[in-house]
């Protein structure tokens, strides 16, 4: 009887473990911070454009080879990684474009460019497909997609030049099949591209059992398509980007980690390795840094990051949001709006070892609070820190509510770019009374806009007191922010 009970117990335990953990999958991911080869000639020929793109794919192949040597199953390359981002007109980018077939679920097309001779007219699409097949790896890359139409045909909309041009992510599985095509939803000063109408969330499922949603750069700041993907239970995302860094606050890796943390998702982010202005890539698991890289210098870089990720597709974001979206497509100039005023100068202090204090600031219905302790081990830097607030339009781009403690060069230049600090903080707490409709991105960075080691701070989601805090930080501090994307009515 005892033996029977023990066997029964083991059987029940096995069933419990199977039910509770069967959706957890480990996979090895790779992302690349890539400095694109480019040609700035505005009158480049198709043959010259192909030479540029193949030069970048040559670099891609070296990364793919090195990633597979580390057992990577999926690799992500950055936005504009095949040709750079120096285009001012639709005609300038045209030689770089290929007509990418629609293989999303609604079309049900089965496309393997590597195994189909008819795709020789799409040489870059075909070559990427062959690399996926050759190295047995899932490849996510960014390309330019073009489809021709007749502007004189009244049956449907068509641009005046007769071309739909899209900033596009493509995904190939390990056999070279094109399994996803996604058009960027939110453009950032990109007159060469069209925006898709309607917005179409795109996901793909790999042979290793993980379903990924796709986001491109500026998409990450808006409710769609990410909310629809999160509502489907998707918890893993690929993210291609050519980010525009605005240190100390909104650098690429801070946004990436903040997104992963607030959505409890895994993010594979690949950025442009051009300099401090665009760099930033990483692999994140529910806000924990698996791998990250940010280049704070003026030089270029070429970096491969590889890490193991645990996926749980059963998880669902508590902050997914289906409210109607305010669409700000920044593709034809700046949206006219005024940035709210802030106190001049803002509340501030000069850092000295052992200094303790607290500051408050309000604008409209947003109230921000910060308390801080400078470490006794900090050098006597006399660096200036200011407490700033925003309750309105961020840089004429989107609605935001922000509470931020930042390092300033001087009080007179507190709104300028700042990457350097030597002040060591012992402890801090920053919070604000953000509404539940905001998507909150917690951001903390150290000297050179590097992310702190895991576990150096915690995040509070207490209603009316959302923020970040640390009682034993003992690191340099460039920025602490709660960056709220206003997605409510």
pLDDT tens, residue by residue, 474-487: 999 999 999 999 98
pLDDT at residue 10 is higher than 70: no
Pick the range with the lowest mean pLDDT from 108-122, 241-255, 258-272.
108-122
Residue with the two structure tokens 């995040």: 459
- Give the residue numbers annotated as catalytic, written as ranges: 79, 184, 217
Burial tier of 200 (Cβ tally within 10 Å: 0-12, 13-18, 19+): middle
Dist. CA 82–CA 37, nearest whole Å:
7
Q: 441-478, pLDDT tens digit by residue?
A: 999 999 999 999 999 999 999 988 999 999 999 999 99
Burial tier of 275 (Cβ tally within 10 Å: 0-12, 13-18, 19+): middle
Pick the range with the lowest mean pLDDT from 230-239, 265-274, 288-297, 406-415.
406-415
Pairing of strands 288-293, 303-312: unpaired
- Confidence category of residue 411, pLDDT binned at 50, 70, 90: confident
Dist. CA 464–CA 210, nearest whole Å:
35
Mean pLDDT of 390-414: 90
- Confidence category of residue 489, pLDDT binned at 50, 70, 90: low
What are the start-end ranges of the E strands in 241-382?
266-270, 281-285, 288-293, 303-312, 348-350, 356-363, 366-374
Contacts of 310 (CB under 8 A, 6+ apart): 24, 25, 26, 266, 285
CB 409 within 8 A of CB 457: no
Pick the range with the lowest mean pLDDT from 54-68, 69-83, 327-341.
327-341
Closest CA to 191 of 82, 335, 89, 327: 89
Q: 276-332, pLDDT tens digit by residue?
A: 999 999 999 999 999 999 999 999 999 999 999 999 874 443 333 333 343 333 333
- Confidence category of residue 410, pLDDT binned at 50, 70, 90: confident
Helix, strand, coil abundance in the chain, percent, nearest 5: 20, 35, 45
- Confidence category of residue 127, pLDDT binned at 50, 70, 90: very high
């Amino acid at each position: 009887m005892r033996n029977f009970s023990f066997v029964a117990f083991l059987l029940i335990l096995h069933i419990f473990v199977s039910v509770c953990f069967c959706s957890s999958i480990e996979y090895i991911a790779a992302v690349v911070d890539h400095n694109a080869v480019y040609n700035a000639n505005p009158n480049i020929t198709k043959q010259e454009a192909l030479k540029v793109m193949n030069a970048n794919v040559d670099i891609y192949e070296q990364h793919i080879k090195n990633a597979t040597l580390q057992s990577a199953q999926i690799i992500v390359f950055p936005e504009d990684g095949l040709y750079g981002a120096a285009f001012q007109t639709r005609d300038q980018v045209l030689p770089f474009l290929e007509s990418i077939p629609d293989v999303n679920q609604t079309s049900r097309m089965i496309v393997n460019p590597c195994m189909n001779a008819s795709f020789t007219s799409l040489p870059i699409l075909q070559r990427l497909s062959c690399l996926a097949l050759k190295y047995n790896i899932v490849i996510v890359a960014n390309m330019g997609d073009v489809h021709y139409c007749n502007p004189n045909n009244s049956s449907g909309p068509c641009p005046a030049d007769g071309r739909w041009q899209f900033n596009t992510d493509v995904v190939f599985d390990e056999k070279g099949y094109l399994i996803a095509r996604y058009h960027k939803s939110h453009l950032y000063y990109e007159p060469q591209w069209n925006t898709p109408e309607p917005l179409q969330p795109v996901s793909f499922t790999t042979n290793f059992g993980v379903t990924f949603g796709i986001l491109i750069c500026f998409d990450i700041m808006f409710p769609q398509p990410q909310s629809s993907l999160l509502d489907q239970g998707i918890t893993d995302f690929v993210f291609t980007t050519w980010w525009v860094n605005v240190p100390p606050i909104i650098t690429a890796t801070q946004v990436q980690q903040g997104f992963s943390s607030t959505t409890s998702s895994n993010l594979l982010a690949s950025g442009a390795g051009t300099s401090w202005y665009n760099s930033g890539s990483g692999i994140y698991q529910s806000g924990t840094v698996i791998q990250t890289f940010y280049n704070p210098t003026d030089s270029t870089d070429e970096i491969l990051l590889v890490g193991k990720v645990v996926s749980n597709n059963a998880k669902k974001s508590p902050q997914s949001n289906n409210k109607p979206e305010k669409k700000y497509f920044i593709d034809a100039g700046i949206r006219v709006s005024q940035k709210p005023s802030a106190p001049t100068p803002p509340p501030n202090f000069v850092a000295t070892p052992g200094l303790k204090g607290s500051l408050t600031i309000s604008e409209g219905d947003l109230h921000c609070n910060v308390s801080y302790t400078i470490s006794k081990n900090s050098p006597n830097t006399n660096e200036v820190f200011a407490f700033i607030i925003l309750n309105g339009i961020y840089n004429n781009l989107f609605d935001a509510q922000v509470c931020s403690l930042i390092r300033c060069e001087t009080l007179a230049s507190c709104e300028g770019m700042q990457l350097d600090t030597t002040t060591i903080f012992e402890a801090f707490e920053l919070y604000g009374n953000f509404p539940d409709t905001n998507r909150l991105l917690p951001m903390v960075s150290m000297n050179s806009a590097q992310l702190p080691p895991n576990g150096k701070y915690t995040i509070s989601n207490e209603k009316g007191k959302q923020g970040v805090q640390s009682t034993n930080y003992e690191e340099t501090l460039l920025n602490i922010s709660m960056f709220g994307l206003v997605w409510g009515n």
